[in-house]
């Protein structure tokens, strides 16, 4: 099984950025834990702060992978293009968020990705990624 985690803008700052919201662990450290936990899954990781790069990665992996775990971060609430890319591919996508976006600013209550996703997991911290991977097993 081949699954890719695709992270959007500012998630490269995990461990430094707003630790009260996002925790104090880097994603790279957490990714190593996921690889250890899911040894039977070929896990890959991609992060970009650039919307077009995220769309290109979704298109590149969206016909040959078994699953995509997507945290488009702030692009979730603004990018019709990412939402369209998710709808255009065959690989199932699970939308994840570290925080409970419904407890935050009103603009974070809207997702352009959810309607094309297999499911949405939010509010469980980094554990949201773990739950998303489990959904593909």
Active site residues: 22, 97
Nearest alpha-carbon partner for 125 in 12, 3, 15: 15
Residues forming beta bridges with residue 67, ordered by sequence position: 3
Whether the CB-CB separation of 54 and 82 falls below 8 Å is answered with: yes
Nearest alpha-carbon partner for 51 in 30, 18, 77, 17: 77
Residues forming beta bridges with residue 96, ordered by sequence position: 121
């Amino acid at each position: 099984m081949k699954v890719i985690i695709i992270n959007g803008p500012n998630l490269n700052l995990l461990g430094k950025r707003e630790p009260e919201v996002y925790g104090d662990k880097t994603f790279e450290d957490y990714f190593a834990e996921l690889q250890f936990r899911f040894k039977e899954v070929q896990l890959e990781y991609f992060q970009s702060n650039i919307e077009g790069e995220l769309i290109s990665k979704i298109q590149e992996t969206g016909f040959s992978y078994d699953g995509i775990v997507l945290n488009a971060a702030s692009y979730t609430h603004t990018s019709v293009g990412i939402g369209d890319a998710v709808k255009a591919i065959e690989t199932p996508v699970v939308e994840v968020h570290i925080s409970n976006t419904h407890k935050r600013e009103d603009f974070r209550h809207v997702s352009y990705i959810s309607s094309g996703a297999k499911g949405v997991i939010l509010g469980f911290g980094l554990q949201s990624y773990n739950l998303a991977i489990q959904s593909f097993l």
